[in-house]
Every structure is written in C-alpha cells, then in structure tokens.
Structure 1
C-alpha cells in the first residue's frame, strides 16, 4: 500500500487511496455513506446509487462493520462531512471481512464491561479513548527515557529469570530452568545496584517485573512495568530529586504532545503538570497527619505500614505528589541503609491516591549488608553473586522503582490499573 493516504491527510481535488476499518455504514436510500477509520481519524465515502456501478455500491455498503477495506477515488470538499471532505469511490476492496456478530462495539455506542473489553482487546483498542491511553503511555515512556539520558544515565537490561528473589522466597513465580528451580524476577534491584557499582555509576531500566501477590484489586497486577533508577555516589535526597524530575518530565510530555488524546479521554481541561518541590514528610509526620484526620478505625503507631485507606486520607490532606521519608528500618528491605538504629533512608513517593515510588539509599558496606539479610530471615549464601561484589569497592548509592501503570492510572484518573495495560496479567487472566 505504498500509495495509501491517511484519512487526516486527504485533501479536496486529489485522487487518493485510503485503507482502514469500516467504522459505520449509513444507507439513506438513494445515497449511502461508508465511514472509514484509520489511526489518524475517519473519512466519509459517498455512494450515489443511481450514478454508480451496482457492484461497487454493493461492495461498499454491504460490508460488515470493522472489516478492513481499501477505497480509491476522488476527494471532494463537502462541508457536511465530519472532516469537511469526502471520497467518491472508483474502487472498493474488502481486504479482510469481519464477522457480523462483534463481541463488543468499537464505536463506543454500546458499553462493555472491563472483562469483555480485555477478552477482546484488539477490538477494544480501536476505540479512540482506549487508544489514547496507550498513545499517552508511549509518550510517557519516551519522555522518561529522554529525561534519564539528560541526567547522564545509561539504559540497562537485567535478567528476568533468576535463581533467587529480590526480597527472598515470598511472592515469587517459580519456573523450571533446565531441571532446576528458578523464578521470575520481582525487581531489577540487585542487578541495577551491581551495575551502578560496576563503573556505569548512573543506570536506569524500564522493564517487566513479576510478583505472585494474591491481590485482586483495581490497583494491583502480577506483571507490571517498572521504571528503575540507581545512582552511585548518590543519597536518598538526590534519588528523590531524580524521581520528581521523572514525574514532571512525563506530565510535561503529555501536556505538550497529547492534546488530542487528552480530549478523547475528556480530561484536557483539568490536566495539569505538577509543580516542582514535592513536599517531603517524615514517616512520623505522615502517621500523625493520618491519625489527625480521624478517617481510620485504628490509630496508626510507629512501625505500622500505611494501608490503602491511610494513603487516601493522607493524600487528601497533602493534595499533591509528595514523599514520605525516614521509614522505620523494620519495614524496609534488607538492602536499604539505616540512618540510625531504627530509622532507614527509605522513602516512598505518593500521588494523593496511592504509592508510585519506593526507594532509598542502599547499604554499600559488606558486613552491614550481610547482617541485614540475617535480620530479615534470609540466607546470605543464597545471594552470594550479589553480596561478594560488595567486597570489591562498592560506592554509596541510591535509587528507586516506579510503577509505570500506576503513574498512568493516577495521571489519567483511570478506574482500574488494567486499563493502562494492553494485555494485563492478574490472578484470573493469563490470556490473551
């Protein structure tokens, strides 16, 4: 289809060939219209029955919705057409005929539940508002990569099949690897630390992570996309600065590049780029603010994690992206460095509705790192490939992991995180 013209580029007075999907057929008696849709929009094809070959008219008007068609003809100005131009066909070819019984309506006139949409994702993504989410996702990931490169980071790719889990044996998907037990990786955490200490200094990765959590909520997935950063000679404060820059860069890209997509989602008017200088609350300040709301049945005490309800209550108080710092050591992973006996360098970055980022400065001293394993009931020998490298000059380093789907969900105010994934994986869904 070298001579194909996209529908948005059709100009009056030209001869064109357009190709796409049969979006709608309108038969008004002596005249009929076929609306052809492609990735750039829609165009009207006009059939004047008395003036055209019967076979041509029949081919163009009997086609089933969502069939793939190619139309060649003259483009004419027509103010009443949706785009101000229409095609008078000279040739119509049905390239791939669609079954007349569609499992959902891609025009959006008839709603479908999320399960039906995900079962038939190829049809679902033909809707402009669904396609808009993934065009925005593409823009976000592109902006994130660009911003990391601005920050002098090297993009890396780490293994997704591993011998041990990032955080031990819980929440792991086991697989058989040439007769041995292996696991799908929960996080690139240990490998990105090794790369930061391997001379690259600043690294990032955007890739899949796998967690065998049995959650079945609108905000959890078992396969997700993680945006990860690790920087040598970097502390928790600097890692938080990087996380903030990444968030703002993502929003700025959507604001500048995705106006049509925001319109399709109906959120163009309220979409705003976060201002820099996200508030930084200590963990102690955070639980005090949550308790002060009176929204929880039980008062939070030192050492409690923040529940979904607590996150939402605190988010309503803060009202913008923010950080929670100085978490208790006992509820942060073994690789997080401590500031004192009971306070860690760990931090979370929050959207008002949920957690987006977890990070901190890492323990770079060999003896303290090994002791951290023991304190959390892990066997350091199982992680020898990782710990032994800390004997050979590991610099101080810090970083974070950010959930790409959660970023999209909060940015676009989606009801369910699965709407930000083309083919989600959860407890019930392994296909398509």
Structure 2
C-alpha cells in the first residue's frame, strides 16, 4: 500500500548530513518545506526536527520517474528520500542530496491553513488554531525544546537534592486555598473543583515524614484575565521541604533556576540562536528587596501604592525597572497572603512570604508555612473561612507536623524568561484561556 514505511528507515537527521558524508548514501525523512522547479533541475528543501536539507534533482542525473515523483510533491507533505550526499556551498549544512529513490508517505491537503515558512505571517489565533503546523516552524519548536530541557534539569535537580516526586489530585472537594476563582465540575452526585494548587497536599506530605517532595503538574484558575501572562490552565513546579524556612527555600529556588540557565545554555545553544535570545548565567545570588522597600521604590517612581496593597501592574513595572533581572521580594503583609503563611515573630503584620520576580514578571511564590494547628485554625477563621471545610488537611497538623517551607514556580512563565517571548501562549502547546478550549 502506498504511503507505508515497509523497509524504509531513516539513517540520518538533517543536522547529521555534513560534508564529511560526501559520496555516501543516506535516507532522510521529513516534510516538504520548499519546492523550486527550474525545468532542467528541481530543488527541494526537506525539514525534520533538526533543520533543513536540500534535495537537488538535475534531469541529467536523476531518473525520469524520480523527477515525476518530485513534481507531485506538495508543501508540507511527508516524504522519504534515499540519495547520495555531495558538497554544495550554497545549500544548508554545505551539502545536498542527489535522490535515487523516493517514497511519498503522505500528501498534504492544499491550500495550507497557514504558511510554516512565514512568507505569509499569521496572527497568533490563526497559529493556535493550526498549532500542528505552527510547531513545524524552527522558532516555535525551539521554545518547546528549551522547555523540555528546563523540565529535565528541574527533575534532575530535585532528585540530586533528595526530593521525592509526588502526584496530587486535580479533582478536589473544596478550595485548595480557600479562595475563589475555581472551576466547579459535576462529580457523580457531588460538586467538585479542579485543583488550583497542590499546596495543601504538599503540606500533608510533610506530616508523612517524606521530608522533601516536589510535583510538576497542571493547575487551574478560573481567572477572567486577558493578558499576555495569564492562563486558566498552567503547569506549576512545586516543592515543599521539612525542617526548612523561607530563607532555605529561596536558596533552593535560586540554585535550581541557575542550574536551569546553565543547562539551557549548554544544551540548547542552537535553539537560543534561532530565537535570537541571550540567557546570561547569574554570577551571584539573586538580590532581595523587602515589601517595605518595594513600596518606597514604587512611590518614588510616581506610581501610587499604599502599604498593604498587592502590586498593581504599574507597580510591578516600576519595581522591575529598578531591580531588573531575577530578585526576591520578601516580608509581604500577612493580610494579603494565604492562611498557611507564617507571620513574622517580631511583627505579625508581616510574613515569611516571598516572590521570585524577573523584571516585572512574577515567577514564583513561597513561604515558611504555619505548622502549629491552633495558629492555622486561627488564621483560617481570620480570613472568614470555615475550618470544617479543611478537616482532612487540618488533621495532619494534629499528629506531628514539622516546621516546613515551600514554593511554586510557574513553568510557563519561566519558559517566557528562558526563550525571550512575551506572550505566555507561545510557551504552551495548546493554551487554555477564557476564550480558547480547542484544539
């Protein structure tokens, strides 16, 4: 049957076809990127996950039936080509392939819903509607290769530092943090919600004696945002550790981010070059600024901010302009932080909470947690929440909960920093915002 692999098997990816292989036979497989038929000679660019290779078919060297097959190519069709490598200064990688055998594995329908060569530019909604085509572009696939490396490094970092990977439920009976912005669902005869954070489960794990845990998983927030940095489904990198405080966990986070940047530079240099993005490796710990200092900085830049307020977008920009790069924002007001955040002993109006910022983008929130049952119940009630709704969570605090701290990092926002893109939808294969539920 036409289109089956049968005995065809790839011998090389495009980046492995180099001048050193001149005179040798190879089999490459990929998508038809460009076709130029000049009559006596046909040039075809074939694309795979690593790049482009030129197929050169002169009528004097190539059998007529091969030329006929090439003329039946359509852009973005999937083909397999066997041929001989020869030097060519004008071709990608300095080589071209003279075809000897060709198999059309799947012809693409025409016209295409968008142009992967970007000769005709498409808006992001058009691109997301045909994401499978959008991802064939080198700059877009580079984003996800870098994101993959980031996850690889993060997991290695956690394993190397004694963390155990866990998976917590995404179907929950009540608010994981007691807030709003939840997606309700029907769960048989009950109402349930999509989890907005693994926070309470991470803390329960501290009572289990497992000591250090991490999770990389989906979170859901029913926020009606239309911004370049919010999504309703995102991936969070969460960590929690016993017998540590906010200072300790800021060091862990700092070290993890630094290792990610080192590894992306080392293993994704081609992708960074395609994106024209430089990613400097930090040469010292991230600076820290207290919330009090941040309020003064913001007001000094002409943006009004009162103590006790969360940072507005204008305030984030003003602070980011002064601080630049990565920095920790510490000692947040207790009243605007969740009930499980530990207040400062010296001044309970402030807390052991921190955010990791990059310029004006919040990447992470973390804190020393409350581990004392009575204080936890008190803080739940102070926020007009019902402790009974947190029964299974609170139970873990009655039977030996150690001091602990943790944080969560927005993986998609971190990818924005690593790739230099300014729209979070670029960093997610199939983003979910208030307008988009397909593909």
Shorter-chain TM-score tier: over 0.9
Call closer, same or farther: CA 1:286–1:220 in 2, change over 3 Å. same
Pick one of 398, 403, 412 that aligns with 1:391: 398
**Could you list the per-position Cα deviations for residues 252-299 of structure 1 after superposition, in whole angstroms to 9, with x for gaps in the alignment?**
1111111100110012xx3211233211111111101111111x2xx2
Pick one of 283, 303, 308 that aligns with 2:308: 303
Find the aligned partners of 1:271 and 1:251 in 2 and give their Cα distance: 7
Structure 2: stretches of 5+ with no match in the other structure:
1-7
Find the aligned partners of 2:410 and 2:183 in 1 and give their Cα distance: 19
Find the aligned partners of 1:128 and 1:278 in 2 and give their Cα distance: 32
> Is the CA contact 1:208–1:223 (under 8 Å) kept in the aligned structure 2?
yes
Pick one of 323, 327, 340 that aligns with 1:322: 327
Pick one of 326, 351, 362 that aligns with 1:355: 362
Find the aligned partners of 1:82 and 1:365 in 2 and give their Cα distance: 64
Aligned residue number for residue 286 of structure 2: 278
Aligned residue number for residue 409 of structure 1: 416
User: How many residues are paired up?
Assistant: 427
**Could you list the per-position Cα deviations for residues 150-170 of structure 1 after superposition, in whole angstroms to 9, with x for gaps in the alignment?**
221111111111111122251
Aligned residue number for residue 31 of structure 1: 41
Secondary structure of 1:80 counterpart? coil
- The CA deviation at 1:369 is 0.6
Does 2:350 match 1:343?
A: yes
Please provide the CA RMSD for this pair: 1.3
Structure 1: stretches of 5+ with no match in the other structure:
none
Call closer, same or farther: CA 1:276–1:164 in 2, change over 3 Å. farther
Q: TM-score, normalised by structure 1?
A: 0.96
Aligned residue number for residue 105 of structure 1: 115
Secondary structure of 1:168 counterpart? coil
- The CA deviation at 1:220 is 0.2
**Could you list the per-position Cα deviations for residues 199-245 of structure 1 after superposition, in whole angstroms to 9, with x for gaps in the alignment?**
11111111110000001111100000101110101111111111111
Secondary structure of 1:371 counterpart? helix
**Could you list the per-position Cα deviations for residues 45-85 of structure 1 after superposition, in whole angstroms to 9, with x for gaps in the alignment?**
12122443333212113311000001112222223322222
Aligned residue number for residue 379 of structure 2: 372
Find the aligned partners of 1:201 and 1:216 in 2 and give their Cα distance: 39
Aligned residue number for residue 24 of structure 2: 14
Pick one of 142, 146, 149 that aligns with 1:136: 146
Pick one of 37, 41, 45 that aligns with 2:55: 45
Secondary structure of 1:55 counterpart? helix
